[in-house]
Amino acid sequence: MSENDEVKKETPFVNLIGESVSLGPLCRHLPYQRWLSDFTTTRTVGKSRPMTQEQAVAWYERHATNEREAWFVIYERATWNPIGVTGLMDIDAENRRAEFGIIIGEPDARGKGYGTEVARLMLDYAFTARGFHNVWLTVNAYNLAGLRAYEKAGFRACGRRRECRFMGGKLWDQIFMDCLATDFTSPVLHHIFAPDQPRN
């Protein structure tokens, strides 16, 4: 087997390919327990508690089989290492809407702009591949990096729940953000989800 064959064998299957990150289907063997138990990761969503291996398996089983959700593994393209997960939740196909979520579980993958690119790829998937019109999220007001990433991706603040998250001895607001299909330009999938052109 050649060196090129070895590289191909190690490259995971992905559905969306961005400049720095790519997204592929959930895989059972990935370190969900570590990602979802790391307080430096979960502090931004306000759920800082340990997760057992049994809970991690249950998390995978629940999200991998839920028809009202669509989850992807986030891969760093430079290394093809898995660095976290992202998904659409509470999918309401009739009203063409869904909730966006993301966890970058590897500390050395933060602060590189990956969150913004993942959010844009997921908006592309939601609007271009699935035909949704509204994608929304919640972010805690103390999560400044998250706020910046979501704004750069195209989300805009649309509401606020006041003083409902406790962090660092203080109660913080929870901010609601959304993005509409009419405010978004597909960066990747418009080449795939397009009508066939007549052949000459």
Residue 156 within a domain: yes
State pLDDT tens for residues 154-197. 999 999 999 999 999 999 999 999 999 999 999 999 999 988 98
What domain range is 134 assigned to? Answer: 13-185
Q: Is residue 171 part of a domain?
A: yes
- CATH number where 49 lies: 3.40.630.30
Task: Report yes or no on 46 lying in a domain.
Answer: yes
Tell whether 80 is covered by a domain: yes
pTM of the shown model: 0.91
Q: What is the pLDDT of residue 44?
A: 85
199 within domain boundaries = no
How confident is the model over 63-108, as pLDDT tens digits?
Answer: 999 999 999 999 999 999 999 999 999 999 999 999 999 999 999 9
Count the alpha carbons within 13 Å of 54 in the hemisphere toward its beta carbon.
0
Q: How far apart are CA 165 and CA 45, in angstroms?
A: 9
Asked whether residue 2 is domain-assigned, the answer is: no
Q: How is residue 31 written in tokens?
A: 């370190």
Tally of domains within the chain:
1
What percentage of the chain reaches a pLDDT higher than 70?
A: 95
Q: What is the pLDDT of residue 6?
A: 46
Q: For residue 150, give Cα distances in angstroms to 19, 34, 53, 117, 196.
A: 17, 24, 31, 9, 33
* Comparison of pLDDT for 132 and 7, the residue scoring more: 132
Residue 40 structure tokens: 């430096």
- Residue environment code for 24-33, b if the CB has 16+ CB neighbours within 10 A, otherwise e: bebeeebebb
Whether the CA torsion 164, 149, 75, 180 is positive or negative: it is positive
Split at pLDDT 50, 70, 90, the class of 42 is confident
Residue 25, in any domain of the structure: yes
Average pLDDT over residues 8-13: 75
Is 8 within a domain?
no
